[in-house]
Chains A and B, each alone.
Chain A
């Protein structure tokens, strides 16, 4: 039987009285959540219009997005095959992924002065001569003719070959693409991984396999008689002119220094000032109030403002970064510290006072032991979050890895370097998170602040 159970009227009244909080809830309690959600949805919809999200997304260059994301994990060789005096000559970009005169297995000269470009296998290739380019896709050949004033693809071309007004664009998917023009062919060949990550082409160690390198490092003949192979390797690695490892590490160190010194100075300044701001320690309303407003001021002036301000006066580098983190954090830490001091157990202070200790001693033994773990763990939290902040304010002008990232992104061609620096930053953040978690755990046990 499925029916609503009938409750006698007397019971009903009794239940209603007994559970008034459950049954007789106010309007706001019943519909507050629904109203809040509806308001949030309406607000998001309005913001969608206000920020012009729809049209912006429609006008976005999504084809670029694919290329940029592929750049994170792969590299492109971009030779230009120029047509000069009836011959084809490859010209390389500044990134110089191959040394001069290197034998490249995907770019091979033909006997008639042309070049063959392989895109993965023999069925996908370009046969480049000065008068015609044979585009071979999956074994089928599509001849593109080049005359003095026009480049023409055949009429039966597949969608991978696109005819533009002055050029023909061939796409081989991930393997790369080619732009056939009247005077040259722009070849773009993409490979998984990061090119020349360890050694650039100037290094004697370029192009060697890991086993060869390990052999050289341990027992091999000295390639450079002046220094051991290992130190030569380290130097060549740090001086890699494409990846600039040495410079990147230096910038990363600057970012860490900004976070470390800024937080440390902030802690050192906030510590005594918090005692002045705490109502239970300093019995002076004016001093409490003034100190707390000073903290509010330091905290509320944005880190961006401090950063730009100090960059203007000290010039770009870690000093403005340190100064801006120091100013913001002494305010934020001061506030947190003062709250912690105001919440201490008064019994310990009373005990010290009853022994006739001076006020310095009362604070040293009555307050500090209670608040120190909270202080340290708070400062560690701030340090972690400041590593991230230092990256961002670096980009504003304070220097460090943030600026390096911004430079790499501004060219739109160095996304592999961006990926490398992101990996470094993630590694450093995780490392310091774990260090500070361990420290916190040792200091105050698992729970607590």
Chain B
């Protein structure tokens, strides 16, 4: 018995199993070739991109790298407490009349004695820009999204127009909108609000109509059976189903918009972005760090608050699209 076992070291496979095995091997090999090929193509593109980036940059990466640490070394406040003085507009003992240590002149007085620190006031502006644009943008997106969904609108032309409008609003560069409005209305938050609102309508509109398309149509059918018109069906069959998801998306969008409004602020929208650009450009280290800390705390607070609200709202239906879609 032992000899028979030793004589057949390979397990014998049936003819069909051999074919299957060979087929599997073939597929595996083909997949490996594809993987190697795509990695090679990727690497070529990456190397070309890096080379292009390095040659297009005004400072070369390796040459400038030591300066990064130099910059970090020089860009430190003279005393750590100065950061907090800058944050709350308290006079600095280092004050020598220059802008760098002048923390007090830009206080925003409400009464004769009570003031809002300059940076906090600018931060309030930035956050308000984000909130206003989220509110207005989500309202428009709410009204538009029903006309873009296949299950509610039969007319292909309407859907096409609404969807393309949303796409253009989403992809239109925000700085152009902001720049155009700045040219007409002069520099101020309205440019930022309009620019972010337009983008919000496009981005939320897309997510909204995808939610609507995934809604359960039984409620709609029920209302249709009792002769309800389109508006009533949307109001009582669709909206209650989709509202929690809509609110979740809007909250996520609000987080994104706070970040967007700081950036737009730096290119002419006002608010904390502009102040930060000036501070870092003029080497005012204490002020720059004060703003970084304020922004970090604000953004984390807003993220946490919106995550908490979303958890409370979370129904059995999870969000369709993941965060990256925003």
A-side residues, CB < 8 A to B, are 40, 43-44, 47, 50-53, 56-57, 59-62, 64-65, 68, 250, 253-254, 257-258, 260-261, 264, 296-297, 300-305, 308-310, 312-320, 322, 332, 336, 374, 377-382, 385, 388, 391-393, 395-396, 399, 402, 405-406, 409, 412, 418, 422, 425-426, 429-430, 433, 447, 449
Contacts and interface: CB of A to CB of B under 8 A. Distances in A.
Contacts of B50: 261
B46 A449 contact: no
B299 A426 contact: no
Interface in B289-326: 292, 295-296, 299-300, 303, 320-326
A406 B292 contact: no
A440 B59 CA distance: 37
B266 interface: yes
B176 A304 contact: no
Contact of B267 (A56, A297, A392): A392
21 contacts: A44-B132, A47-B131, A51-B188, A65-B180, A261-B50, A264-B46, A297-B296, A304-B262, A305-B295, A308-B280, A310-B68, A312-B280, A313-B68, A314-B68, A317-B53, A317-B56, A317-B57, A320-B57, A378-B323, A409-B183, A426-B168
B173 interface: yes
Given A250-B56, A296-B303, 7 more contacts: A64-B184, A254-B56, A305-B276, A317-B59, A381-B324, A381-B325, A392-B174
Contacts of B179: 405-406, 409, 418
A377 B320 CA distance: 13
B53 A396 contact: no
A405 B176 CA distance: 7
B324 A308 contact: no
Interface string B124-143: 00001001100110000000
Given A43-B135, A257-B52, A303-B263, A51 B193 contact: yes
B211 to A, nearest CB: 13
Contact of B71 (A47, A52, A254, A312): A312
A300 B56 contact: no
A305 B289 CA distance: 10
Contact of A300 (B54, B67, B299): B299
A381 B184 contact: no
B59 A315 contact: yes
Contact of B53 (A261, A305, A395, A406): A261
B277 interface: yes
B264 interface: yes
A422 B176 contact: yes
Contact of A418 (B53, B58, B176, B260): B176
Nearest to A428: B171
A180 B266 CA distance: 41
Contacts of B19: none
A374 B323 CA distance: 12
Interface string B48-72: 0110111011110100100110011
Contacts of B276: 304-305, 308
Contact of A302 (B58, B59, B176, B262): B262
A302 B299 contact: yes
A297 to B, nearest CB: 8
Contacts of A316: 57-58
Interface residues of B, number: 67
Contact of A308 (B54, B61, B189, B266): B266
A313 B277 contact: no
B100 interface: no
Nearest to A256: B49
B259 interface: yes
B242 interface: no
B180 A409 contact: yes
Given A64-B184, A396-B267, A409-B179, A257 B58 contact: no
A50 B189 CA distance: 10
Contacts of A422: 172-173, 176
Give the interface centre of B171, B259, B292 by most chain A CB atoms within 10 Å: B171
Given A314-B57, A388-B171, A430-B171, A378 B176 contact: no
B226 to A, nearest CB: 16
A378 B324 contact: yes
A56 B183 contact: no
Contact of A304 (B172, B180, B266, B320): B266
B234 interface: no
Contacts of B263: 302-304, 392-393, 396
A259 to B, nearest CB: 10
Contacts of A40: 135
A386 to B, nearest CB: 10
A271 B287 CA distance: 35
A44 B135 contact: yes
A60 B61 CA distance: 45
